Amino acid sequence: MMLDLKYLGRIVEVTGVSNEQIESANKMDLKGLRELLNQRYPNLKSESFQIAVNQELKSDDYLIDRTCEIAILPPFAGG
């Protein structure tokens, strides 16, 4: 399964890319994706980030399928 990832804000600075495709042999939940990203980009471990699927924030147990739009988001500041 090929996953299309989009990185936003500070996450682009940490990873050095704004988007990429990652191959996954098995179905993966967001926890697995988070672990994969932390392995791929060790500096990401010190960053707080959220994962949006199809423009909605999801919990770590959400199962990704190949049609999902995935965005890796930096922390939000509010006011």
What are 13-71's pLDDT values in tens digits? 999 999 999 888 778 899 999 999 999 999 999 999 999 999 999 999 999 987 889 99
Count CB-CB contacts under 10 A for residue 57. Answer: 12
Query: 2-73 has which fold?
Result: Ubiquitin-like (UB roll) (3.10.20)
pTM exceeds 0.85 for this model: yes
